[in-house]
Structure 1
Amino acid sequence: MTVDRFTTPLYGIAEAAAYLSVPPSTFSTWAFGYVRKRPGGGTVKGTPVITATRPRRPNEPVVPFVGLAEGYALAAFRQAGVPLQRIRPAIDALKRELGLEHALASKRLYTDGAEVLYDYAEHAGDASARELVVVRNNQRLFSEVVERYLRRVDFALDGYAQVIRLPQYRVAEVEVTPLHAFGRPRFSRGGARLEDVLDLFRAGEPVDVVADEFGLSREEVEDALRVATRPAA
């Protein structure tokens, strides 16, 4: 089966949320939008901000790789403390000024996005969006939190994300890419699938044996176990 980064559903909502360390309810809002009742009557609506299809069955894959990459950028903005209602118009500004779809998954977000968001924040008087950008030596740059996230993405020749190194690991480098195992996490060093490493440990093998089997260090395996056993976001 050929995987198309833009159209092939690879991830369920809960799975994608876990990879990005955000609550499933948050990721669902990004994917499908929301309709909420106002306390005084009426409703407020939010449109989807990442690429996804509506599920027909529980837990089926609905998010293509490009949607996960868009969610990854949103997770960086969220980590920087900017609320979603402020992020939505900023995303519209990115799409409008950069002139492309899937702006959050594009390399141009990294090269031009800080300048666009700075200009948007200045003209809109949006203090929240301004928190995403700093000015250093007359250059508009993403804040350290956002920059730390965004430099963990590699891009294909078409300018869109192709590899994401997941943010929750401290020692191990674990990546997702549609080029291998239908986008399931794997260790960058050696290429072992994360699930295979966890399964061998769950089968009762000691950490050192698991590490030797997959060509990993003990610290890498322990880091993977830490992430796998921590409470859900």
Structure 2
Amino acid sequence: MTIDRFTTPLYGIAEAAGYLAIPASTFTTWAFGYQRRQRDGRTVHAKPVITAARAERPHEASVPFIGLAEGYALAAFRQAGVPLQRIRPSIDALQRELGLEHALASRRLFTDGAEVLYDYAEHAGDESARELVVVRNNQRVFAEVVESYLRRVDFAPDGYAKVIALPQYRVAEITVDAEHGFGRPRFARGGAKLEDVIDLFQAGEPVDVVAEEYGLTREEIEDVLRVATRAAA
């Protein structure tokens, strides 16, 4: 099967949200927008901000790799403490000024995005956008938490995300890559599938045995088990 990073559905909503360590409800509003009635009777609409298609059945894949990458950038903004409803105009400015579809998944977000957001904040008086950008050595750059996320993305020759290192791991480097294993998480070192490692432990093998089997360290195994246990709670 040939996978198109932009169109082939690879992830369910809850699955994608779990990879980014955010609530599924949050990822749903990013993917499909929302319509909410306010106390004063007005209806507020918000459009989708990442690439996804409505699945025909529950738990069916609906998010392509590029949609996950867009969500990853939004997770970085969220980690910086800026709610999405406050930065939607900033995202529109990024798309407009960079002149790209899928700007949140592009290399230009990393290279030019901070400059665009800073200029937008100055002209629009938008404090939300300004919270994402700092001036360092007379250059406009993303705040540290956002920059730390974006440094974990590798880009393909077309300028769009190709490999993403998932954010919730402290020791193990776990990546998703649309060209390997249908985009499922795997260890960057050695290439073992995350699911296989966890399954072996859950089958009753001690941590040290699992580590030896896959050429990993005990600390790496304990790290992924920590995240898996927290996700299951």
Residue in 2 that maps onto 1:105:
105
Give distance in 1, aligned partners of 2:153 and 2:136. Answer: 23
Residue in 2 that maps onto 1:184:
184
Give distance in 2, aligned partners of 1:5 and 1:225. Answer: 29
Residue in 2 that maps onto 1:196:
196
Query: How far 1:231 moved relative to its partner?
Result: 4.4
TM-score (norm 2): 0.98
Query: How far 1:88 moved relative to its partner?
Result: 1.1
Residue in 2 that maps onto 1:90:
90
Return 5+ residue gaps in structure 1 as ranges: none
RMSD of the TM alignment (CA)?
A: 0.9
Runs of 4+ in 1 over 4 A off after TM superposition: none
Higher normalized contact order (CA 8 Å, seq sep 6+, divided by chain length) = 1
Deviations 1:160-187, CA, capped at 9 Å, x for gaps: 0000000000000000000111000000
Residue in 2 that maps onto 1:32:
32
Q: Does 1:73 align with 2:51?
A: no
Query: How far 1:128 moved relative to its partner?
Result: 1.4
Q: Indicate if the aligned counterparts of 1:53 and 1:63 stay in contact, CA closer than 8 A.
A: yes
TM-score (norm 1): 0.98
Residue in 2 that maps onto 1:63:
63
Q: Does 1:142 align with 2:142?
A: yes
Q: Indicate if the aligned counterparts of 2:32 and 2:47 stay in contact, CA closer than 8 A.
A: yes
Q: Among the aligned pairs, what percent are the same residue?
A: 79
| Number of residue equivalences | 233
Query: How far 1:232 moved relative to its partner?
Result: 6.1
| SS at structure 1 position matched to 2:190 | coil
Return 5+ residue gaps in structure 2 as ranges: none
Deviations 1:73-98, CA, capped at 9 Å, x for gaps: 00000000111112211111011111
Q: Does 1:3 align with 2:3?
A: yes
Residue in 1 that maps onto 2:159:
159
| SS at structure 1 position matched to 2:210 | helix
Give distance in 2, aligned partners of 1:75 and 1:121. Answer: 20
Query: How far 1:201 moved relative to its partner?
Result: 0.2
Give distance in 1, aligned partners of 2:66 and 2:105. Answer: 6
| SS at structure 2 position matched to 1:230 | helix
Residue in 2 that maps onto 1:222:
222
Query: How far 1:42 moved relative to its partner?
Result: 1.7
